[in-house]
Amino acid sequence: MARRHIRRALTILPALALAVTAAGCAESVNTGADTQAGGQITLKEPGKLTTCTHLPYAPFQFTEGDKTVGFDVELVDLVLPLVGANEQKIFDTPFEGIKSGESLNIGQCDVAAAAMSITPERQAVMDFSEPYFNAKQALLVKKGSGYDSLEKLRGKKLGVQQGTTGETYANENKEKFGYEVIQFEDLALEQTAVQTGQVDAGINDDVVLLDFLKANQDVEVTATFDTGDNYGIAVKKGNGALLAKVNEALQKAKSDGTYDRIYEKWFGKKPTA
């Protein structure tokens, strides 16, 4: 997928009001490493918080009209008033660059929010917020195919999204169950491959595959795998000042009910925990 910039219009007026207040406090922000909570912060672009993500990944981040919307997008919006920003700028870039920490290290963005699971490998190259979402892996197949387990995929093709924990899980079990792993650059390509029969099944996070079923009656999710995935928002390694603000926004959202409201908006139900 080609890299492109997408600028979001302001959508939350109260957030704007808070942003103006925060800016008036002249709090400084710094995208560099080796900062601590309460320390100086400098955004990549003054007044804008730039977020790296990889589109599409509905309902977490996807394009609707000329805007990028979704659960993750609204969570990051909550950070804006805490860092003196009044706009979130989305930078769409391949997930490989995000998960390797490269996107943050070369200054493409201030934070990365890409429904990204916290793993030891990723924690070695970037710093994560407190977990904000739990996910499982799931199996997407054409309706009526009968593929409801990895065991039944022996000799078949299993699609994965490049660089994801779904790909890792598929590769870890490939030899045991005897299927071929086929890699796709993004979620949409993987889902289309299942629909068109390029692969016999696809594995990815359960929430995005269940969301896909709403508009695609020819496919179904037949199995889930409890992999203990927890999503986190990432910053450049050592950027403790910005990370503290991200955690502050998440903690406040969970304590005042904002998180539950956003969750219900995008998933149609309140969180269970």
Q: Check residue 39 and give its pLDDT.
A: 84
272 band by pLDDT with thresholds 50, 70 and 90 = confident
Identical fold between 48-132+232-267 and 136-229: yes
Each residue's pLDDT tens digit, 243-264: 999 999 999 999 999 999 999 9
What does the DSSP assignment read for 89-118? EEEE--HHHHHTTHHHHTTS-SEE-SSPBP
Residue 22, pLDDT above cutoff 90: no
One DSSP character per residue, 156-174 reads: SEEEEETTSHHHHHHHHHH
Peptide bond into 46 cis (omega under 30): no
Cα(10)–Cα(29) distance, rounded to whole angstroms? 21
Give the pLDDT band of residue 37 (cuts 50, 70, 90). confident
Provide the CATH number for the domain formed by 136-229 in this structure: 3.40.190.10
């045991």: which residue's tokens? 176
Min mean pLDDT across 18-27, 101-110, 227-236 is at 18-27
Q: Where are the domains of the chain?
A: 48-132+232-267, 136-229
Task: Indicate if the pLDDT at residue 45 is higher than 90.
Answer: yes
- Residue 75 pLDDT more than 90? yes
- pLDDT (tens digit per residue) in 107-165: 999 999 999 999 999 999 999 999 999 999 999 999 999 999 999 999 999 999 999 99
Residue 42 has pLDDT above 50, yes or no: yes
Q: What is the pLDDT of residues 169-228, one digit of tens each?
A: 999 999 999 999 999 999 999 999 999 999 999 999 999 999 999 999 999 999 999 999
Report the Cα–Cα distance between both ends of the chain, in Å, rounded: 36
Which residue shows structure tokens 């493409």?
108
Q: Average pLDDT of 82-111? A: 96
Q: Which CATH class is domain 48-132+232-267?
A: alpha beta
Residue in the block written with tokens 């800016």: 23
Q: What is d(CA 42, CA 9) in angstroms, rounded to the nearest whole number?
A: 22
pLDDT for the residue 32:
66
DSSP classification of residue 32 = S
Which percentage of the chain shows pLDDT scores above 70?
Answer: 88
pLDDT beyond 60 at 17: no
